[in-house]
Structure 1
Amino acid sequence: MTVPLPGPPRPSDPRPAPPDPRVAVADAMAALDALGDRPPAEHVEAFERVHAALGEALAAGSPGPA
């Protein structure tokens, strides 16, 4: 017979793992690949989106070694 450990109950469903920031970085960088086919007027908006995505990935931190 096992005796339960004291303390708060453990959640039945563990929290999902946070998204890997490396995926966000790869997606952001891939978005730059299509800029060669777009007019220069659209580049600024694309760079701003990539900059924001990279900032969010940096703020999220590293998930550890690859």
Structure 2
Amino acid sequence: MSVPAPGPRPGDPRPEQDRPVAALRAEVDAAVAALDALDDRPVSEHPAAFERVHAALGRALSAGSERE
């Protein structure tokens, strides 16, 4: 089962390509850091955590390609 990638967060009206690289990096770092807690979480919650990382990486990569 696939979870759709979320759009821009409320309060952040800028398109992804207009967000500073530092903000995108922080989002990716936070999503990846959350994987460290998966050992303590039920397996049923793991796919959602991986989807969040995948979505954050996709947004960061997409924004990077838009800047070139």
Give the TM-score range, shorter chain: 0.5 to 0.7
Higher relative contact order (CA 8 A, sep 6+): 2
Partner of 1:35: 38
> Across the two proteins, how many residue pairs are aligned to each other?
46
TM-score, normalising length: structure 1: 0.58
Partner of 2:64: 61
| Higher Cα Rg, which structure | 1
Q: 1:25 aligns with which of 24, 28, 31?
A: 28
Q: What are the ranges of 5 or more consecutive residues in structure 1 without an aligned counterpart?
A: 1-16
Instruction: Tell me how large the CA RMSD over aligned residues is.
Output: 1.8
Identity fraction in percent: 65
Structure 1 ranges of 4+ moved more than 4 A: none
Mapped contact 1:28–1:54 kept (Cα < 8 A): no
